[in-house]
Chains A and B, each alone.
With several copies, the nearest count.
Chain A
Amino acid sequence: MNHYRSRQTQQVTRRRGAWFCVTAVFAAAIAAAATPAAPPPEVSDVAVLPPSNTHRVWLVELYSGQMQVVDGDSGDLLGSVYSSSLSNFASGRSTNRIYVAESVWSKGNRGTRQDMVTVYDGTTLKLLTEIPLPGRVYMAPLTHNFAVSANGARGYVYNMQPAASVIVTDLATNRVLRSVDIPGCALAFPWGDNGFSSLCGNGSLATVSLESPHPAIKRSEVFFDAENDPVFDESPSNRSTGRTFFISYSGVVHPAVLGATPALEAPWSLQQAAGLQPASVQNGTLAWRPGGRLPFAVHGPSGRLYVLMHAGEPWSHKKEGTELWVADSKERRIVRRMTLPTAVTAIAVSQDAQPLLYLVDVKETLTILDAMTLEEKKKVEQVRGVVPYVPDL
């Protein structure tokens, strides 16, 4: 359970003086034994990450902290980024920067609280700077607790103390720009470079444009039943296109294109798209329902929507997926249902023309599939409590 292990290193002496003494005693004998044919000694060096590609995936430990940068083709671990517990990770444009929104206490479980965005270089993984924050929500991490604008220039940190707000940071100058109150709402789904939307407790969407110095909040109509059939926090969204699928616990998909004026499209049912009855929200009714830690992934170019489904009653939205459903989101049709041999908690998909689908299951194995054929390409075992993210999404 704890993977810290002792290791063998050595401090070879305590005092220079002592060394010279040793040298004097043995120098003659050693000099005679020199082997001129020996290979030149290796030098300790430090790796940099290979150039980023579309098959890079992040494995984030939600609770204990630390993120692993993994190559999706080989399954190899390329490097790790430290974080404190309950942190959020986000990428700059093309993963040139890695941002960690974290809360650290000066004495571990006590002392002074320090909220910050910690900035790492995306290639060397070196810590570049820390941006102190006036606050940050402290909770089991959600993707949209912390997000970065499409061009990588702004960071949005959801805060709740307990009034809800989004702290906007300038990632060029590494400072906080402003805090925007979002009463009754939560999270930040960025769209483009100059704004974000938040989900609200009454079933609407709040949209904040940052063009003006005093950003106004625009509220959408109520478009889902937040009491009886809320949409997932982890509804999938693309920061560049604004294309978002707000998906409810019962499996109703509310498509939207986020922007200064969000376009909300007519909802459809995942179950109906599979030729089944829509799932009921009545207690005791069994149906295929979406669920898990990260139950959704969208391949933007093809419009394919991947969903973890399980047979369950209402409010079973955290149950892992025993089937993978693949929907054509344009045709609103389930094009594939696949039984998962081990229940899966979280998925992500790459955004290129030969996309990879990443699945982390309850046995802590990462399985990498061809996202089009669903053929297995790679398995990595013992990934230990992580969820997969495709950065720069």
Chain B
Amino acid sequence: MAKLTLDALSEKYARRLAGNVSRRSVISRLGALLVAAPLMPVLPVARSEAEEPSEFTRNAQTQDPKKCSYWRYCGIGGVLCTCCGGGVHTCPAGTTPSPTSWVGTCVNPDDSKSYLIAYRDCCGALACRTKCECEATDRDTPSYRPQSDNGIVWCLGLSTMAYHCSTAVLLGSAE
């Protein structure tokens, strides 16, 4: 398979892109990119400016990163590395961070501000055996919008493809 080396690049640009636009808009624009031509404009369904918080955001907490409700996990899907010998941004020993990641925007309930989070898989051993399995499907899109589909194994390009767990790396403020 093609070796993916867009890692630093993609996070960097995604961060800049997402700096003052909503995560939804980023997805929309990146999604459109994948379609070479013609770029048919898709009119989003009308919605208010100040959108209601999602179910995840309403229930988020900042104390326990071993729980699915930890605020950074608004877009995570899989097993939490915090339960597997890793940390919020640390892969467990013997595994390798995936070469690519998706950037989500999560609200920290302590300051009600939005932050950019890179979801990065750790690849290597079999799936980590733990109770800490989470699936936050906020804006998890189908496979034809792979940039936000949580079903694809993105350990591609590494010497091992086996998925082990997922981290949520804080990139910075989204406001």
Contact = CB atoms under 8 A, between A and B. Distances in A.
Chains A and B directly touch (beta carbon < 8 Å): yes
B26 to A, nearest CB: 9
Interface string B86-120: 11111111111110111110000000000000111
B68 to A, nearest CB: 12
A69 interface: yes
Contacts of A183: 34-36
B125 A381 contact: no
Contacts of B94: 79-81, 120, 124-127
Interface stretch (A260-268, A296-304, A312-320, A327-335): A312-320
Given A228-B45, A282-B51, A109 B125 contact: yes
Contacts of B140: 8, 315, 317-318
B87 A162 contact: no
A215 interface: no
B3 to A, nearest CB: 10
Interface stretch (A27-35, A166-174, A348-356): A27-35
Contacts of B98: 9
A34 to B, nearest CB: 7
B77 A47 contact: no
Nearest to B166: A7
A40 B115 CA distance: 12
Contacts of A21: 33
A121 to B, nearest CB: 8
A161 interface: yes
Contacts of A48: 93
B144 A110 contact: no
A219 B97 CA distance: 37
Nearest to B161: A138
A16 B6 contact: yes
Given A30-B16, A105-B161, A221-B40, A6 B77 contact: yes
Interface in A1-22: 3-14, 16, 18-19, 21-22
B92 A282 contact: no
B126 A201 contact: no
B20 A33 contact: yes
Contact of A202 (B31, B143, B161): B31
A47 B86 contact: yes
Contacts of B147: 10-12
A318 B135 contact: yes
B160 to A, nearest CB: 5
Interface in A119-139: 120, 123-127, 135, 137-139
A256 to B, nearest CB: 15
A41 B170 contact: yes
Contact of B13 (A23, A86, A225): A23
B62 interface: no
Nearest to A182: B144
A242 B150 CA distance: 28
A226 B153 contact: no
A237 to B, nearest CB: 14
A26 B17 CA distance: 7
A277 B117 CA distance: 36
Contacts of A198: 144
A219 B38 contact: yes
Given A69-B85, A109-B126, A138 B75 contact: no
B151 to A, nearest CB: 4
Contacts of A204: 35, 40
A284 B129 contact: no
A326 B11 CA distance: 45
A82 B144 contact: no
Given A11-B4, A109-B162, 15 more contacts: A5-B78, A11-B100, A26-B21, A32-B20, A42-B171, A43-B89, A43-B169, A44-B118, A109-B124, A139-B149, A185-B35, A187-B144, A201-B34, A225-B42, A283-B54
19 contacts: A3-B129, A7-B78, A7-B166, A8-B78, A8-B166, A12-B100, A22-B17, A38-B172, A41-B172, A42-B170, A44-B97, A45-B90, A46-B97, A65-B126, A66-B126, A124-B93, A126-B94, A127-B94, A137-B143
Interface of A: 3-14, 16, 18-19, 21-23, 26-27, 29-35, 37-49, 61, 64-66, 68-69, 76-82, 86, 103, 105, 109-110, 113, 120, 123-127, 135, 137-140, 142, 145, 160-164, 183-187, 198-204, 219, 221-222, 225-233, 281-285, 313-318, 381-384
- Give me the 9 closest cross-chain CB pairs, A-B, nearest first: A10-B102, A7-B78, A125-B94, A184-B35, A33-B20, A8-B150, A284-B52, A12-B10, A9-B154
